[in-house]
Amino acid sequence: MWIGIDDTDSSEGMCTTFLVPEIIYSLGHDLIGFPRLVRLNPNIPWKTRGNAAVAIRIGKGYGKSRKVGEFRGKEIISYEKGKEIDDVGLLEKVMNIVERYAVLEDKKTSPGIIISKKKLDESIYWRAVRSVVYLKDIKIHIKDARYFGYKGGRGLIGAAAAIAWKPREKTYELIAYLPEDRWLHERFVDEDSVIEMDKNVKTTFENYDYRNRHVAIKPETRTPVLFGIRGKVPEDLERARLMVRSDPYIGYIIFETNQGTDDHLVRKKISEISPYDSVIVSGRVDSYPRVISGGHVIFRISDDSGSIDCAAYEKTREFREIVKSLVPGDMVTVFGSVKKYPGTINIEKMRVDSLADIYEKEIPRCPSCGRKMESAGNGKGYRCRRCGTFVKEIKYVKVEREIEKGFYQVPVIARRHLSKPIEFFQE
Residue 396: CB minimum distance to Zn ion, A = 22
CB of 367 to Zn ion, least distance (A): 8
What track of x and - describes contact with Zn ion for positions 347 through 386 (by CB under 5 A)? -------------------x-xx-x------------x-x
CA distances from 270 to 131, 313, 408 (A): 16, 20, 21
Site stretch for Zn ion (CB under 5 A), options 149-157, 316-324, 388-396, 411-419: 388-396
Complex with Zn ion: residue 362 or 402, whichever CB lies closer: 362
What is the pattern of x (binds Zn ion, CB under 5 A) and - over residues 310-349? ----------------------------------------
Stretch that binds Zn ion, among 252-260, 293-301, 316-324, 389-397 (CB under 5 A): 389-397
Q: What's the min distance (Å) between Cβ of 378 and Zn ion? A: 21
Q: Which is nearer to Zn ion, 211 or 371 (CB)?
A: 371
Query: Closer CB to Zn ion, residue 307 or residue 389?
Result: 389
E strand residue ranges, 131-240: 146-149, 171-177, 204-205, 208-209, 214-215, 225-231
Query: Residue 374 CB, nearest distance to Zn ion (Å)?
Result: 11
Tell me the β-bridge partners of 119: none
Residue placing its CB nearer to Zn ion in the complex, 369 or 399: 369
For Zn ion (CB under 5 A), the number of binding residues is 8
Q: Three-state DSSP class for 75?
A: strand
Q: What three-state secondary structure class fits 22?
A: helix
| Phi, psi of 164, deg, nearest 5 | -75, -20
Distances (CA, A) of 411 to 162, 309, 314, 334, 338: 28, 21, 12, 16, 19
Q: Which residue type occupies 106?
A: D
Least distance to Zn ion from the beta carbon of 373, Å?
A: 7
Please report how close the Cβ of residue 377 comes to Zn ion at its closest, in angstroms: 18
DSSP string of 91-134, one letter each residue: HHHHHHHHHHHS-TTSTT---EEEEESSPPPHHHHHHHHHS---
Q: Is 389 in the site for Zn ion (CB under 5 A)?
A: yes
Q: Which residue, 53 or 366, is less far from Zn ion as judged by CB? A: 366
Q: Using the rule CB under 5 A, which residue among 356, 363, 387, 397 binds Zn ion? A: 387
Task: Select 270 or 366, whichever has its Cβ closest to Zn ion.
Answer: 366
Count of CB atoms situated within 10 Å of the CB of 172: 24
End-to-end CA gap in the chain: 37
Gap between the Cα atoms of 426 and 424, Å rounded: 6
Least distance to Zn ion, CB of residue 397, Å: 21
User: CB-wise, 354 or 368, nearer to Zn ion?
Assistant: 368
- Of the candidate spans 77-85, 240-248, 356-364, 387-395, the one that interacts with Zn ion by CB under 5 A turns out to be 387-395
**In Å, what is the CA distance from 366 to each residue of 202, 215, 363, 389, 416?**
57, 57, 10, 7, 56
Listed residue (33, 202, 3) closest to 115, CA to CA: 3
Nearer to Zn ion, 96 or 368 (CB): 368
C-beta closer to Zn ion: residue 343 or 388:
388
Residue 283: CB minimum distance to Zn ion, A: 48
Helix (H) or strand (E) holding 319: helix 319-324
CB of 361 to Zn ion, least distance (A): 19
| Subset of residues 188 to 217 that bind Zn ion, contact rule: CB under 5 A | none
Residue 70's SS3 state is: strand
Residues within the interface to Zn ion (CB under 5 A): 366, 368-369, 371, 384, 386-387, 389
